[in-house]
Amino acid sequence: MSDQTTPTRITTVERDGLVLDVHDEGPLDGEIVVLLHGFPERADCWRLVAPILNEAGCRTLAMDQRGYAKGARPPRRRDYRMSELLGDVRALAEATGGRVHVVGHDWGAIPAWLIAMHHPELVASLTAVSVPHPQAFLTSMVRSAQGLKSWYMLAFQAPFVPELMARTPGGLLDKQLRASGMTADDVARFRRQIVDDGALTTALNWYRALPFADPRLTRHKVTVPTTMVWSDDDIALGRWGVERTARLVDAPYRFVELNGISHWIPTQAPEQLAAAILDRVGSA
């Protein structure tokens, strides 16, 4: 008689009184791929990628992270420190009862990098999308043009100003998103899911918590198989940090460059991204 239990769907993860929503799809016995969204999107930014992974036999867990999930919007900036973001992803990984393949885009890449650094026992592989190793990114801020590309990170520190920019449909924030390559449909989705749903301030708190970050968290190499996916039309993330990420990974590593694709890789190059993820999952 087997003592193994049948896996069940994970619809929420609870941590410190917060409830994070999880979209659990694909075969229950498949390799588990955790999908972490960035700003200003939610878990359904993976809506074109997840079905491809599911069809290939993977089970996908796309989580609405803190600040986005309705049951996980603490008001304080310090509640969005990197250590808290890491804790949420760790809780999801532990809920699966095994090792997971972690994929993170934009801000979602930060807790993805962190769990690979600090809890390799939970991580079978890592696919980072757009954002390089945090240490490489920090160095790029002073060694390249990345500091200029990241001007918005400073602008988002101002209280109320970004919220005012987003108040009017078609206003300045919408125009900035369109300039970054986001489609009109995805800007409309941003307005419904983030602005109209009351999640803008708590989503911005990921940026506003940066002054509380412990820099020691990022001073580690990654020891799990890793793929870095970057697009050359990304106006937010430059090449310098991406090219120096390999030296911060002590494990099999692959760099995938997508040509002619903007920052929004999961929705604009889902087939290519899914192929990179599946290649990493298969090799791990």
pLDDT digits (tens, 9 = 90+) for 145-177: 999 999 999 999 999 999 999 989 999 999 999
Does 3.40.50.1820 match the CATH number of domain 12-283? yes
At a CB cut-off of 8 Å and minimum separation 6, what does 170 contact?
Answer: none
Cis peptide before 132 (omega within 30 of 0): no
Q: Which one of 21, 88, 106, 174 is the catalytic residue? A: 106
pLDDT tens digits, 69-81:
999 999 999 999 9
Write down the pLDDT at residue 4. 54
Q: What is the mean pLDDT of residues 262-269?
A: 98
Would you call 68 a catalytic residue per the annotation?
Answer: no
Q: Which one of 23, 37, 101, 263 is the catalytic residue? A: 263
Asked if residues 23 and 61 have their Cβ atoms less than 8 Å apart, the reply is yes
Write down the pLDDT at residue 7. 85
Give yes or no for residue 183 having a pLDDT over 70.
Answer: yes
Distance, in Å, from the CA atom of 47 to the CA atom of 172, rounded to the nearest integer, reads 27
Write down the pLDDT at residue 201. 97
Q: Which one of 88, 133, 207, 234 is the catalytic residue? A: 207
Torsion of CA 200, 202, 207, 208, to 10 degrees: 120
Average pLDDT, the chain: 96
pTM flag (> 0.75): yes
Would you call 263 a catalytic residue per the annotation?
Answer: yes
The beta strands (E) that lie in the chain are given as: 12-15, 18-25, 32-36, 59-63, 100-105, 123-129, 226-231, 253-258
pLDDT tens digits, 214-262:
999 999 999 999 999 999 999 999 999 999 999 999 999 999 999 999 9
Q: What is the mean pLDDT of residues 11-39?
A: 98
pLDDT tens digits, 102-147:
999 999 999 999 999 999 999 999 999 999 999 999 999 999 999 9
Strands 12-15 and 32-36: unpaired
Q: How many contiguous H segments (helices) and E segments (strands) does the chain have?
A: 13, 8
